[in-house]
Chains A and B, each alone.
Chain A
Amino acid sequence: MTEPVSDSGALAPRYPVAPGSNFTTVPFGQTPSQTVGPYLHIGLPWPDGPDVVPAGTAGSVDISVTVLDGNRTPLADAMIETWQADASGRFDHADDPRGRRTPTPAGFRGFGRAVADATGTATVHTVKPGALPAENDMIEAPHIDVGIFARGVLERLVTRLYFPDETEANASDPVLSRLDARQAAKLVATATPTGYHLNVVLQDENPNGDETPFFEL
């Protein structure tokens, strides 16, 4: 069906309607965050969402994240997103002060998106990122920023995933080294036969409990 063309040339009348009490002129400002809700699966997954690198890329790994709530019940309706540097520690992005560069390996997207299964586990397929330069000649250890979305989460939760085979780099990382050892350890993934795994615990009343450190950006 195509858009019909009006057969009337008459102009629409305009009546002076007084705005009621609900009439507002919205002041300009940042739009609030809202939950993705339970039906995010309609709009957000892509067939290649979990593929940060194309399937079959040499040296690729699976990174799985299990999301648990305050009762340690898995969030079967969660979604994770990941963002990371490429294997050589570069971003194909105008705001990388070193300049854009074609990513390595070929087809590297940097971004991953995966929905959780019944065990609250979401898995992306990627390569380990390179280390990154930071202020004062510090070096950020290889890491992946992880965003968590779910019903009941009004604003994305952000944490980081670090690698267990980078003990030396992790020790001098400007983010990890500012956490106490117990908190820092929660951000270091464990090795699996095909890659790495991280448990993310959304809530624990006990300050010395299991809750994953989350970041305010």
Chain B
Amino acid sequence: MLPLPPNHSITVDPAGPYRDQTGVNAPRDFAEYRTTALRHPKQPLILLPQRLTEITGPVLGEGRVTAADADLTLVNGGEAQGQRIIVHGRVLDSDGKAVPDTLVEVWQANAGGRYRHAGDTWPAPLDPHFDGVGRVLTDSAGNYRFTTIKPGAYPWGNHHNAWRPAHIHFSLFGQAFTQRLVTQMYFPDDPMFFQDPIFNSAPEDARARMISAFDYEATQDNWALGFRFDIVLRGRNATPFEGDDHDD
């Protein structure tokens, strides 16, 4: 017999509290990205009212992140090849509220577009001083920042002459299971966007939110180029946030 929970009824908002804005995410069946073909449900998803398991989530980071995890360019006693960059921004929810103290995980290819992974066989050299993994926590205002090198573009087998635009993978938790987000950060004016089905799987109006902005203010003289990438998780209101005071 399971122990009965305390007699404490909760309220459930069938549509929340955390909601996706409309027109944000890709259709799960996106034919041009061929691997989706056998990996998407054919049956309609079932609406799960958000109860205790959904409105809570892991609080991670303590003991999981060191200062060195914020610099991907210093590995194995040497410096990574490539264009040194600083990537920074804020993690917010779609109500415009900062998400403090949340774990941000990143991984990426090296300057030649090669991943340190047994499954990556394209003939660009590995860099002994680049692993391509970083972890940071946002501060109390939701800011994060790390130093890395600009990843290269690389070919893949999706279609003839298919190339992924340069990108950095981002993984975010937010404060609830329902806020979890894995996305990719792209670079401004990448000439490879036009033929990439992963980037273009996102609805047209939302795509540009995945493109970082060159940030001269964050660029450090004689050291590194700056890029800004603000990440917006689902919030508690489905209607888009109006106004610009989300920016600092």
- Residues of chain A at the chain B interface (Cβ within 8 Å): 1, 3-6, 22, 24, 26-44, 46, 69-71, 73, 75, 77, 81, 83-85, 88-89, 91-93, 95-98, 109-111, 130-137, 139-140, 142-143, 145, 147, 149-158, 160, 166, 169, 174-175, 179, 202-205, 207, 211-217
Contact = CB atoms under 8 A, between A and B. Distances in A.
B54 A217 contact: yes
Nearest to B188: A22
Given A32-B203, A34-B210, A37-B169, A46 B41 contact: no
B201 to A, nearest CB: 6
Given A34-B183, A156-B180, A28 B244 contact: yes
Interface residues of B, number: 103
Contacts of A40: 107, 169
Contacts of A175: 48
B39 A202 contact: yes
A70 B37 contact: yes
B141 interface: no
B132 A42 contact: yes
A33 B182 contact: yes
A217 B36 contact: no
B198 A95 contact: no
Nearest to B93: A30
B182 A211 contact: no
Contacts of B178: 217
Interface in B1-52: 2-12, 18, 20-21, 24-28, 30, 33-43, 45-52
A217 B198 contact: no
Contact of B231 (A31, A84, A213): A31
B160 to A, nearest CB: 19
Contacts of A41: 117
B57 interface: yes
Contacts of A96: 52, 56
Specify which of A1, A29, A38, A179 lies most central, judged by the most chain B CB atoms within 10 Å of its CB. Answer: A29
A137 B216 CA distance: 56
Nearest to B107: A43
A6 B199 CA distance: 38
B176 interface: yes
B10 to A, nearest CB: 6
Contacts of B222: 3-6
Interface string B194-218: 0000110111011111110100000
Contacts of B203: 32
B182 to A, nearest CB: 5
Contacts of A29: 21, 24, 94, 206, 209, 232, 240-241
Contacts of A46: 64
B233 interface: yes
Contact of B4 (A70, A92, A131, A156): A131
B52 A91 contact: yes
B59 interface: yes
Contacts of B37: 70, 152
B242 to A, nearest CB: 8
